[in-house]
Amino acid sequence: MPEPEVLTDMDVAGTDRYVMRKLPEVTLAFWVMKIAATTLGETAGDLFAQTLKVGYFLTTIALFLIFVVTLVVQLRSRRYNPFFYWTVILSTSMAGTTMSDFMNRDASAKFLTDGATSLGWGPQGLGLGYPTGAAILISLLLAIFAIWKRTGLTFAIRDIVSFRAEALFWAAILVSNTLGTSMGDFLSDSSGLGYAGGALLVTGALAVLVVLMRVPAVPNVVLFWIAFVLTRPLGATAGDFLTKPVAKGGLDLGTAGSSAVLLAVLIGLMGYAHIQERRTAVPRDKSLTGVS
């Protein structure tokens, strides 16, 4: 059997042949899985860094290396595989959680779990604060999008089929998930809204985006990326709501228990997506553009 042809960026731009897509369709199931993955990323990141007292420094290094490994597997895949894709999303969520915490927090008592006096080996945060950390991450995300635009490659997720476009996509995903963590922590810890209030605010913003999808003048690609960033603080606040003590407005389910339940839910959803993908797998024409 001949090897599948690898299409370059110019091939994709200049031919009417079918190409194999690498990323999923954007449907309601996509957003459900995204929120589940980001919530698990929040609880799992806190589990390693805080509950197990590995600390932000070592946990960030370990989770970033896991992200690199999962990303290599995804980039080497020749077609969309739900397990590969959502594993990278999960790894960016976990790494983004501890990267954000390392940027914004420090080893002061207000950031330590009850009864803890230290948090692992190495520096335990730069202490930049949520506003400064968010400003840095927004600037970095805008820089990635500026580079992406200069390449002339599509921003539409379901039309990303080249290596360069996918690499830029995952760079934006990692930074957006880190930014979303900072936003979620700010809403939960510093804004006065609390976990439930922060989640309601983000949910309201997402509802506005759904309405804007009906406005022809607003590109759906722009709405997609705004929604992608906003679903991360929704996951962060949901994760905090599940794990934090009742006295702080949470359910006090713990990071280990919450992570186990969320992991089971996410694996179940990935299995369902894999079955659906095998049932409906058909070649995609490169002329289909935009985000549905």
Report pLDDT digits (tens) over 77-104.
888 888 899 999 999 999 998 898 888 8
Is the confidence at residue 4, as pLDDT, over 90?
no
Q: What is the C-alpha separation between 232 and 97, in angstroms, rounded?
A: 10
Please, which residues have CB within 8 angstroms of residue 69's CB and are 6 or more apart in sequence? Answer: none
pLDDT at residue 47, as a whole number: 84
Which candidate, 41, 59, 192, places its Cα nearest to that of 125? 59
Kindly state the average pLDDT of the residues 253-272: 84
Kindly state the average pLDDT of the residues 54-78: 91
Highest mean pLDDT among 23-32, 63-72, 206-215: 63-72
Between 223 and 12, residue with greater pLDDT: 223
Kindly state the average pLDDT of the residues 58-64: 92
pLDDT at residue 270, as a whole number: 85
Is the confidence at residue 174, as pLDDT, over 90?
yes
Q: What is the C-alpha separation between 126 and 99, in angstroms, rounded?
A: 10
Given pLDDT bands bounded at 50, 70 and 90, which one contains residue 19? very low
Given pLDDT bands bounded at 50, 70 and 90, which one contains residue 66? very high
Is the confidence at residue 15, as pLDDT, over 50?
no
pLDDT at residue 217, as a whole number: 84
pLDDT at residue 30, as a whole number: 87
| Contact between residue 84 and residue 17 where contact means Cβ atoms under 8 Å apart | no
Which candidate, 184, 177, 183, places its Cα nearest to that of 64? 177
3-state secondary structure of 47: helix
Given pLDDT bands bounded at 50, 70 and 90, which one contains residue 111? low
| Contact between residue 80 and residue 24 where contact means Cβ atoms under 8 Å apart | yes
pLDDT at residue 14, as a whole number: 38
Kindly state the average pLDDT of the residues 14-30: 63
Q: What is the DSSP letter of 191?
A: S
- Rounded to the nearest integer, the mean pLDDT of the chain is 78
Between 235 and 206, residue with greater pLDDT: 206
pLDDT at residue 288, as a whole number: 36
- Entry pTM: 0.78
